[in-house]
Structure 1
Amino acid sequence: MIGTGHGPGGPLSALGLGELRERHSAKWREYPPEVLPMWVAEMDTPLAEPIAAALREAVARGDTGYAVACGLPEAFAAFAARRFGWHTDPAAIRLVPDVMAGIIEVLHLVTAPGDRVVVNTPAYPPYFYWLPRIGREVVQSPLALGPDGYRLDLAALERDFAAGAAAFLLCNPHNPTGLVLTEEELRAVAALASRYGVRVVSDEIHAPLVYAGARHVPFPSLDDPAAARSVALVSASKAWNLAGLKAALAVPGPEARRDLAAIAAEVSESSGMFGVLASEAAFTAGEPWLDALMAGLNANRALLGDLLAERLPGVGYQPPQATYLAWLDLRALGLGDDPAEWFLRRGSVALYSGLKFGAPGRGFARFNFATPPDLLTDAIARMASSLDGRARTPRPTALDAL
């Protein structure tokens, strides 16, 4: 049955290109039909059957009113205990429309206008839009890039904390690099935050998408004063492809409950009822589908490495420890600061421009490999072919109208 995730290919092989092009989401409607979209963080999968069933039942009931949390906090708490060994109190968890909205609400509560908020770059692009919009200054604290990939630069982080930061917006697992911080690294972050009085707000939206060999440790679960005062933002949206349904949760450490209690009821009501019901089904009954998805993503993660080595050997690629996002170092190809523009115009492949991820994104691009293996293969073939005769003027296409 479509949507179960069972079978040899799992969820990532359930749909073909024709079916995917019928979708109305941003991934498939942003660019003309000849473009393969490998940019925004949407997956090319059907819904997990428990989620689809929950939504069908809601439609049958006409259950389309204003959202309340229902059983979602309890469902997440049970999932977090099973998956991460994290025991949190559902009564303290607050419903928010999505993770970014939750981050903004929490920063409103724990910082003041003009305060400095540290983010590790390259960083999720909406951070650069939303934080200045609410009057907070973004402080870019670059990750360290070495031969084995990215790591947290604790010395740089301490420098930025000591310079007067009010908060640290931690992204773990990290978007776009796929880095998963170890417990030791997180404890070091907590120690620095305690020393300098920095509040930690942790974006953990990709927590369910960690591969074997790494382990997600929720920041508020640490036994540390800074962790006790922290807030994690979580959601089923990335792991079960529910971003358009609008539901996420703010989960406090033991000493941050009073902060979250100040979130206005109108914020929770801006969530979507379908998002709440779908997320509850995901956390309660969606783990078999998630496990099948992770097997497919792990295969695609390896396939991408093989294809790049064969067709684009100059591209730097470190398989991510989590997420379905690959952070590609394209600087050796000589395509300038924005190689995504080249591959869009000359290869009809849409990547997410590295320039949008902060200063360290020059010459990089983000590639979404949560797609059928044949489309992944086609995308890399197109990118490789676009480099043949690169001085040639491209043919006019529908992209010229964008």
Structure 2
Amino acid sequence: MSVMVSVFDAHRSRTSEKYTAYPPDVLPMFVAEMDSMLAEPVREALVAAVTNGDTGYVGHGRALPEAFADFAESRWAWRVDPDLVRTTTDVSVAAVEMLRRIIEPGDQVVIMPPVYPPFWEYVSEAGGTVTEVPLLAPDGPADPFDTTAGWRMDLDGLAQAFADGARTVLLCNPHNPLGLVHDRASLVALAKLAAEWDAVVVSDEIHAPLVHADAVFTPFVESCPEAAALGVSLTSASKAWNLAGTKCALIVGASERARAWFDALPTEVVERTGILGYTASVAAFSEGEPWLASLLTELAANRRTLAERIGDVLPGAEYRQPQASYLAWLDLRALPWGDDPAALLVDEAKVALASGPAFGRQGQGFARLNFGCSAETLDDGLSRLHTAFRQRADG
């Protein structure tokens, strides 16, 4: 049984941004939210909490740190110390609050565009200044079936940023919007370079449970001793189990330095965790893996459908199957939609995609497509895009 539902059914019953930001005739394939039903253990846990009136302030138990530690060891052989786990409302808040503990006003924070647009906002909200070290683009045309050849960190650029005064890196792993899973060798190289400059790495790992079978996820702090000493990981059940609105994320450390950062967090940072998000996350990490396996099977089929059809649907477009998640980074620079194809396609194709330039100047001519949907919805989206392309081509 599919975990996905019809996007049109979702339009009729859901009130989240994905289904209300555009008119009903626009297919929403922009924001990173799936057209999925809840995993049964998660649904049951939430129903029980609401039925019992358990909707107050979050408690101070160890259920979620322990559930995540078990999940991390089972899935990634990552031994998490539950005493070095804190919760908060979401990964955005976790990123800002950790940066506030780490940097001084005006300090440089490295980000690697094209990257999730709020990264710029996190840095400024925390009082820092952004230093961009863009990822190195792939060489040559994209092979849509090759998930190994792609973008990579610019280690020379990072070294120069450290030499110029940067002492913090905000990493995205897996990297949104590319679906790039940084390999262990790259993470170790980053950690050793950071150690030379006494720099800190804050790693957003929210998409980690969604890594596909042909890639291997390595948590940054688990990659090597240097990373454990200077890093912190941010994660959540929200992307993998479609729980963004329930408001719960985890901050995970692996050192006494991290413990000191955590101890310095304002009490409210932890206490703003949503109790329903906490409840849902415990259920997801402890009982949600069978549902997650079914989800990943459906997502793998959709990413392959894109690989098989992209050349016919949008001749001249380039796409590589992502190693993680349900987000496709479409290179539409050869097509007649300019620097921001999404801005035109929402009218011409009635498909809402995420704007490429929002991910940095490296995103000009690109758009991000969310294939966390049913096969039928994906087919509809591709058909609409093809029709829009033909209308452009026919003038």
Q: TM-score range by the shorter chain?
A: over 0.9
1:65 has 2:66 as partner: no
Deviation at 1:392, TM superposition (A): 9.0
Deviation at 1:307, TM superposition (A): 2.1
User: 2:302 touches 2:375 (CA, 8 Å); kept in 1?
Assistant: yes
Distance between the aligned counterparts of 1:226 and 1:208, measured in 2? 20
User: 1:344 touches 1:351 (CA, 8 Å); kept in 2?
Assistant: yes
Question: Where does residue 189 of structure 1 map in the other structure?
Answer: 190
Where does 1:284-299 land on structure 2 (aligned, <5 Å)? 284-299=286-301
User: 1:222 touches 1:228 (CA, 8 Å); kept in 2?
Assistant: no
TM-score (norm 1): 0.93
Distance between the aligned counterparts of 1:130 and 1:181, measured in 2? 22
Q: Equivalent residue of 1:59, what SS?
A: helix
Question: Where does residue 246 of structure 2 map in the other structure?
Answer: 245
Q: Which stretch of the first structure deviates more once superposed, 231-240 or 147-156? A: 147-156
1:236 has 2:227 as partner: no
> In the alignment, residue 167 of structure 1 is paired with which amino acid?
T
Distance between the aligned counterparts of 1:391 and 1:287, measured in 2? 45
Q: Equivalent residue of 1:43, what SS?
A: coil
Q: Which stretch of the first structure deviates more once superposed, 67-76 or 201-210? A: 67-76
Q: Equivalent residue of 1:151, what SS?
A: coil
User: 2:27 touches 2:381 (CA, 8 Å); kept in 1?
Assistant: yes
Q: Equivalent residue of 2:174, what SS?
A: coil
User: 1:92 touches 1:257 (CA, 8 Å); kept in 2?
Assistant: yes
Question: Where does residue 67 of structure 2 map in the other structure?
Answer: 75
Question: Where does residue 44 of structure 2 map in the other structure?
Answer: 53
User: 1:54 touches 1:278 (CA, 8 Å); kept in 2?
Assistant: yes
Deviation at 1:68, TM superposition (A): 2.9
> In the alignment, residue 337 of structure 1 is paired with which amino acid?
D
Deviation at 1:384, TM superposition (A): 1.4
> In the alignment, residue 44 of structure 2 is paired with which amino acid?
A
> In the alignment, residue 107 of structure 1 is paired with which amino acid?
L
Distance between the aligned counterparts of 1:54 and 1:324, measured in 2? 26
Aligned with residue 32 of structure 1, among 23, 48, 60: 23
Question: Where does residue 152 of structure 1 map in the other structure?
Answer: 153
Question: Where does residue 257 of structure 1 map in the other structure?
Answer: 259
> In the alignment, residue 43 of structure 2 is paired with which amino acid?
A
Where does 1:118-133 land on structure 2 (aligned, <5 Å)? 118-133=110-125
Deviation at 1:389, TM superposition (A): 3.3
Distance between the aligned counterparts of 1:21 and 1:305, measured in 2? 31
Change (3 A) 1:289 1:203: same
User: 1:68 touches 1:268 (CA, 8 Å); kept in 2?
Assistant: no
User: 2:3 touches 2:37 (CA, 8 Å); kept in 1?
Assistant: yes
User: 1:200 touches 1:229 (CA, 8 Å); kept in 2?
Assistant: yes
Distance between the aligned counterparts of 1:362 and 1:15, measured in 2? 31
CA deviation digits over 1:206-245, x for unaligned, max 9?
A: 0101111211111111332343221100100000000000
Distance between the aligned counterparts of 1:341 and 1:144, measured in 2? 26
Distance between the aligned counterparts of 1:129 and 1:259, measured in 2? 21
Distance between the aligned counterparts of 2:74 and 2:60, measured in 1? 21
1:350 has 2:356 as partner: no
What percentage of residue pairs aligned between the two structures are identical?
48
Distance between the aligned counterparts of 1:391 and 1:334, measured in 2? 8
Report the RMSD for the aligned CA atoms in angstroms.
Answer: 1.5
Distance between the aligned counterparts of 1:34 and 1:353, measured in 2? 19
Where does 1:100-179 land on structure 2 (aligned, <5 Å)? 100-146=92-138, 147=140, 148-179=149-180
TM-score (norm 2): 0.94
Question: Where does residue 339 of structure 2 map in the other structure?
Answer: 337
Question: Where does residue 145 of structure 2 map in the other structure?
Answer: none
Distance between the aligned counterparts of 2:315 and 2:394, measured in 1? 22
Where does 1:272-351 land on structure 2 (aligned, <5 Å)? 272-351=274-353
> In the alignment, residue 184 of structure 2 is paired with which amino acid?
E
CA deviation digits over 1:22-66, x for unaligned, max 9?
A: 210100100001000000000000000000000010011101101
User: 2:345 touches 2:352 (CA, 8 Å); kept in 1?
Assistant: yes
Where does 1:6-21 land on structure 2 (aligned, <5 Å)? 7=1, 10-12=2-4, 14-15=5-6, 17-21=8-12
Q: Equivalent residue of 2:373, what SS?
A: coil
User: 1:230 touches 1:252 (CA, 8 Å); kept in 2?
Assistant: yes
Deviation at 1:112, TM superposition (A): 0.8
Give the count of matched residue pairs.
384
User: 1:307 touches 1:377 (CA, 8 Å); kept in 2?
Assistant: no
> In the alignment, residue 322 of structure 2 is paired with which amino acid?
P
Q: Which stretch of the first structure deviates more once superposed, 221-230 or 190-199? A: 221-230
User: 2:354 touches 2:369 (CA, 8 Å); kept in 1?
Assistant: yes
> In the alignment, residue 348 of structure 1 is paired with which amino acid?
K
Question: Where does residue 366 of structure 2 map in the other structure?
Answer: 364
User: 1:67 touches 1:272 (CA, 8 Å); kept in 2?
Assistant: yes
Q: Which stretch of the first structure deviates more once superposed, 295-304 or 263-272? A: 263-272
User: 2:7 touches 2:35 (CA, 8 Å); kept in 1?
Assistant: no
Q: Equivalent residue of 1:390, what SS?
A: helix
Distance between the aligned counterparts of 1:179 and 1:129, measured in 2? 22
Deviation at 1:391, TM superposition (A): 8.3
User: 1:96 touches 1:249 (CA, 8 Å); kept in 2?
Assistant: yes
Question: Where does residue 379 of structure 2 map in the other structure?
Answer: 377
Question: Where does residue 92 of structure 1 map in the other structure?
Answer: 84
Question: Where does residue 392 of structure 2 map in the other structure?
Answer: 390
Distance between the aligned counterparts of 1:226 and 1:290, measured in 2? 28
Distance between the aligned counterparts of 2:32 and 2:113, measured in 1? 18
Distance between the aligned counterparts of 1:56 and 1:120, measured in 2? 40
Unaligned ranges ≥5, structure 1: 1-6, 394-402
Q: Equivalent residue of 2:208, what SS?
A: coil
